[in-house]
Chain A
Amino acid sequence: MIDLCDGDEDAFSEVIRRFQAPIYSLLIRMLGNEEDAQELLQTTFFRVYKYRSNFDTERKLVTWIFTIASNLAKKEWRRRSRWVNVPLEYVNLTSPVKTAPHYDAGRIELKASIEEAVGHLPPHYREPFLLREMEQMSYEEIADILGIRLGTVKSRINRARAHLRNSLEDVWEEWK
């Protein structure tokens, strides 16, 4: 990070290589389409470089970068003025075509249903849930990234799980 603050391009390239996949995964699931996600991914790293001197060394680099991406996503939601549902149908991240050799139709179907159900969660539940499940972040890190209290993180993740249980009950029963 010190190298990055000094404007070292190799250090910056390393930051991009290390964080591009998790940031893109979050953005695409938050925004629901590849085009917007790619644009915001680019802007995220541009801002990391531009504001590298503002980085507080007390913070973790990962939480700082996720905060930038999360703020950009929020700004995009406000621009779209639709906070409720960002459908993921056309993203098609989990398709039956990408099957493993030991084909398990039920499992694939449940995963596709989970992907869709997550896409229908309200954004303020979806974001902490994705950070917890996809990035395996601690509640403290999520609170830091989203700028909310620890208790709020816990309750939002709990509510996200309750939403998912309701919407996936039938598919889960079949799969079980």
Chain B
Amino acid sequence: MMNTITAELIKLRSLPVALATMGGTLAAAVVLAAAIAASGTTTSPTQVVIQSITYLQVGLILLGVLIIGIDYTGSNMRTALLATPNRRTLLVGKCVAYLLAAAATSAAAIVAGFLTATITLAIRESATETGADTWPVIGAGVYLVLIGLLGLALALLLRSLIPPLVAMLSLVLIISPLLSTLTSYAQYLPDQAGSLLYHRESTAELTSGTGMLVLLAWIVAIGAGAVMEFRSRDA
């Protein structure tokens, strides 16, 4: 098991596109935090970080989709299964490798974004809210990791790279904002339910805790189908 996790981490490190995704997410966090703080819509670094999550989730989704999808673009999956014939072990290895990489990326991006926001707000000499609530920021980090995990599950289900990427991006960036103006059921969409982790106000039906459970339920539902398919189908 340890060997598989190490192997998956080495594989991830040797993928230029994965490194670019992690670096790009970090860079985007800094630029976005500076831009949002400079636009003067808010004076709290926490709020700045929260507003940048909408964009930052793209990076984590890409990371989650890549870790599975890249194996399906060539014959890489067969090589991986030759090396680790036990499919459950391979899958656990991939998930743990993703969680480690995603947690590091998410934490780094959020800390960098928070610091940039604080500095930018200080330079603009707007009255910075001190004693900021740290829970929304931590919640935002957890949300980023989880939404990427949903991307991973979808990539495993669809056994490809581009279709799950387009589906996830359309969901979180287009369909979800569009439907949320329309029907209150939209709050049960994975990204809307998960966003309660960092939005302080809870809706009528969901709180941060139940919101996270809804997001986890989405991951488990898609993931369970994907795992069953992965264990029984040809590679």
A and B interact physically: no
